[in-house]
Chain A
């Protein structure tokens, strides 16, 4: 009974309408709070004011959005290639895994915001921001892909041996397909993290008065008490994050839809 009700919910338009309605209510509540208390925009701007600012400042803000998106996507691409390549190296030589994995963990557990100012000393602003985004995006891809490459079914491995498969054949036809869903899972986490890394990098760099990404706009607007613009920039960062997540989910679905449980509907 419950399962059937859940299933019906998953396929009905309510699935989309309910969260939108909740979001709408929150925005409405926000608007009411601002109106009823007669709050000035430099304390809390209403949602309409934020939208107005978004339209009025669109040249500045969209330009900044492009800068941040570009940093995020380049860092993500580099993390995907680097993480997957290092995972392959780990899978082919355990000694490399033992030697390098702890270092990757150290890099991961040290808070990025604490490393960012140091990187700004040694690297140019753009490179430092890119490096920040790359560092946080790299680890989930590395660790997920390593897990995937080590998850090969033992019987299938035996079957490949029996059929006289070479190392490259085993890698291409067995290890890579096994690792693909893990890699894609890592990529989805990394997409969000790359954006976080880019924002952290920009904020750290922003106080040095350089850069022109969205996070820099937030810092800049804060100095100028331009609160509506802070909200507008924040909105764009959220939208960018949603866009990246949706894009990566689509890629994942396209690659796995024929066979992997995660991409299959719960029909029948």
Chain B
């Protein structure tokens, strides 16, 4: 008994950059009857942007991501996906990729098998899927490791496999839930740069959940600062997309100023909560 995927209107490629890709209007999410994770969340994701959701733990930013993915249903409000109301998890967009906080790989499958998974579940055979899989592995620099098993890889490499798996369906929207939180700083910087390159190359939209001010400023074109109890957006910061993101930027006064500005917004959001 296979649930058929009913792709709700793939995002038209001609949606102009900056136009809203999806909108959350008055979205609330309650778990049981006590915990209110989100209340009255209004936000939009614009096509082509790198959007970071920044906030303290428990502010509902991960919940917002799961709602966008369709892994959970909002208790109130609406999520409108490119003009259409988002459906249940089973009818999720094939054009949405999700990267979890942990690599979440299947230990019994090779790197190739793990990246194949989303296509396999959609009925694409190994041979048909091979070009797409190899392309995704090349994007994350792991094409030489197709036959390795997850246990043979380092933490950073596992995360790259996880990203390749999310990219293999060529999603227009990539959702990432604190993907680099468990990695050491050196690996994290490297993956930050590689992720930016993938983002530019694929011309996709990324929503990135993080609790690191520095990471969010380095990566994003826009940052939404969340406050907790109840979770909602407290502040919004734009960062010039034209700004090159490299080591020079990481050590520049502009970067420091943006980090200070973001930290201040975060501190204000936390005091308000």
Contact = CB atoms under 8 A, between A and B. Distances in A.
Do A and B form a real pair?
Answer: yes
Nearest to B90: A164
Given A258-B149, A259-B151, A166 B3 contact: yes
B108 A259 contact: yes
A8 interface: no
A161 B151 contact: no
Interface stretch (B40-48, B99-107, B132-140, B188-196): B99-107
A184 to B, nearest CB: 13
Interface stretch (B74-82, B115-123, B233-241, B248-256): B115-123
Contact of B149 (A163, A173, A174, A259): A259
Given A165-B3, A169-B121, A173-B121, 8 more contacts: A155-B104, A159-B117, A161-B89, A167-B3, A177-B108, A180-B108, A258-B108, A264-B151
Given A162-B92, A163-B118, A164-B91, A155 B100 contact: yes
Interface of B: 1-5, 69-71, 89-92, 94, 96, 98, 100, 102, 104, 106-109, 117-118, 120-122, 149-151
Contact of B71 (A156, A158, A258): A158
Interface string A252-264: 0000001111001
Contacts of B70: 162
Contacts of B121: 160, 163-165, 169, 173
Interface string A144-178: 00000000010110111111111111000110010
A162 B98 contact: yes
B151 A162 contact: no
21 contacts: A155-B104, A156-B106, A158-B71, A158-B98, A159-B117, A161-B89, A162-B69, A163-B118, A164-B3, A164-B92, A165-B121, A167-B3, A168-B2, A169-B121, A173-B121, A180-B108, A259-B107, A259-B149, A260-B108, A261-B151, A264-B151
Contacts of B2: 166-169
Contacts of A165: 3, 121
Contacts of B108: 177, 180, 258-260
B5 A161 contact: no
A162 B94 CA distance: 8
B132 to A, nearest CB: 14
A189 to B, nearest CB: 22
Which of A162, A166, A173 has the most chain B CB atoms inside 10 A of its CB? A162
A180 B109 CA distance: 13
Contact of A164 (B5, B69, B71, B106): B5
B97 to A, nearest CB: 9
Contact of A156 (B1, B104, B122): B104
Contacts of A169: 2, 121
B102 to A, nearest CB: 6
Contacts of B118: 159, 163
A174 B18 CA distance: 39
Contacts of A166: 1-3
